Amino acid sequence: MKYICYYDIDNHEKRTCFLSAKNKVDYILECLKSISPESIQIISASRTTGNKYCPQRLVFLSDNVSLKLFKSFGRKNVITKALDRFLMPVFIFFYLMKYVQKDELVVVYHSLNLINLVKFAKLVKRFKLIIEYEEIYSDVSGNPKQRKRELNFTKYADGFILATKSLQNALGVNDRPVAICNGTYQVEHQRECNNKFVDNKKNKLINCVYAGTFDPRKGGCFAAIAAAEFLPENYHLHIIGFGSDKDIENVKKLVIETSQKSKAHVTYDGLKSGEDYISFIQSCDIGLSTQNPSGIYNSTSFPSKILSYLANGLRVVCVRIPVVEESDVGQVIYYYDKQTPEEIAKAIVSVDLSKEYDSRDLIRKLDIKFRSDLQHVLFE
């Protein structure tokens, strides 16, 4: 079995690999391993974002899982950038031509850069293609030609792994087997949290966290910070996540400005990953998913941070959008209807922390269901 995606195992080569996407791939990979006895090879399309040349290599992650990394020329100059952009799809295409067998399972994490090479390889090698769609990228770009290309790609698939039920209808793939996976259904056991703000709980401080992108087009981070001005003094809003250098500076600036006029505590706590991320958010009580509801991507794209919050036992506050409300976790979310700081703050304060709550049990049930659906997709 092959799994084509953007993936890396370390940071010294600085290959393109977004943390949220890698977490989803890792979860799907674990599910594939539990379902199929076949060996799995991850074929990475990641190019280096650094200046140095990185050779190709094969890395064995476990007894039956390996990772193929192709050579990358780096971004030292215009020529190496162009070589990387042109040659990476070529490397992957010819690798598939050489090593994929007829009827072999090939899972592809949907990417605009991979569409053409996968289509041609499928036509030649006739493997069984499962496409993993997290979103329709043209919903963000607003490019009609790109959307037509994305929808056309579905014709080549034998089955799908989709992030939302809405995607199933948007893509028009009700005629083939589908497994819905909103995010990572991986329950995280309670850690012994030693973050510096844990002691605040003894003083009845309620810790809220926004974890995710600082991209102003999504708007979630800035909406969360703005809401802090309307929170009582026993609340602490933590901002963690990622973005461009400019985005990070804008976040830091807004945090400082808001903290000067807010009774609540507001802090920027940097980027967290792995165990640092888990222990950090487990030190919090409420997770915020405050993206701009007017974005067209909200019709099919599920905010992955919601699953992360729930898997770690947090209550979740989210803007009311159908893709979340109609999902399998929709009934445990606290919603607000207007994208204003006041309404977001009201929703946060409305969270009843004394009410019996076990989001981890819900995530366990969804994990079992997804594995069953995935088995159907792979082997029907």
**HEC assignment per residue over 64-100:** CEEEEECCECCCCCHHHHHHHHHHHHHHHHHHHHHHC
pLDDT recorded at residue 108:
97
pLDDT for 197 equals 61
> CA-CA distance, 79 to 110, in Å (whole number)?
27
**Any idea which residue has 């295409």 for tokens?**
93
CB 278 within 8 A of CB 312: yes
Check residue 33 and give its pLDDT. 94
pLDDT of 115 above 80: yes
**Confidence at residue 146, expressed as pLDDT on a 0 to 100 scale:** 87
pLDDT of 296 strictly over 70: no
pLDDT-derived band at 22, boundaries 50, 70, 90: confident
pLDDT at 227: 97
Condensed to tens digits (0 to 9), the pLDDT of residues 174-223 reads 999 999 999 899 999 998 765 556 544 556 789 999 999 898 888 899 99
Q: Which of 142-146, 264-268, 294-298, 361-365 has the lowest mean pLDDT?
A: 294-298
59: which 2 tokens?
A: 């890395």
Distance of CA 305 to the CA centre of its chain: 7
Q: Looking at 136-145, 147-156, 369-378, which range is the least confident one? A: 136-145
Three-state SS string across the chain, please?
Answer: CEEEECCCCCCCCCECCCHHHHHHHHHHHHHHHHHCCCCEEEEECCCECCCCCECCEEEEEECCEEEEECCECCCCCHHHHHHHHHHHHHHHHHHHHHHCCCCCEEEEECCCCCHHHHHHHHHHHCCEEEEEECCCCHHHHCCHHHHHHHHHHHHHCCEEEECCHHHHHHHCCCCCCEEECCCCCCCCCCCCCCCCCHHHHHHCCEEEEEEEECCCCCCHHHHHHHHHHHCCCCEEEEEEEECCHHHHHHHHHHHHHHHCCCCCEEEECCCCCHHHHHHHHHCCCEEEECCCCCCHHHHCCCCHHHHHHHHCCCEEEEECCHHHHCCCCHHHCEEECCCCHHHHHHHHHHCCCCCCCCHHHHHHHHHHHHHHHHHHHHHC
Q: What's the CATH class of domain 198-358?
A: alpha beta
**Taking CA 43 as the corner, what is the angle to CA 39 and CA 44, rounded to the nearest 5 degrees?**
140
Hey, what are 44's tokens?
A: 């990475």
Boundaries of every domain in the chain: 2-180, 198-358
Cβ-contact 209, 203 below 8 angstroms: no
**CA separation for the pair 257, 271 (Å, rounded):** 20
Would you state the pLDDT for residue 23? 84
CATH number for region 2-180: 3.40.50.2000
How confident is the model over 318-335, as a mean pLDDT? 94
Mean pLDDT, the chain, whole residue set:
91
Better-predicted residue by pLDDT, 282 or 18: 282
Instruction: Tell me whether strands 65-69 and 57-62 are parallel, antiparallel or unpaired.
Output: antiparallel
Model confidence at 74: pLDDT above 50 = yes
**pLDDT of amino acid 199:** 47
pLDDT at 164 over 70: yes
In this chain, the answer to whether the domains covering 2-180 and 198-358 adopt an identical fold is yes
Give the predicted TM-score (pTM) of the model: 0.85
Q: Cα dihedral sign for 304, 116, 16, 141? A: negative
What backbone torsions phi and psi does residue 242 show, to the nearest 5 degrees? -145, 160
**Is 298's pLDDT higher than 80?**
no
Rg over CA atoms, the chain: 21
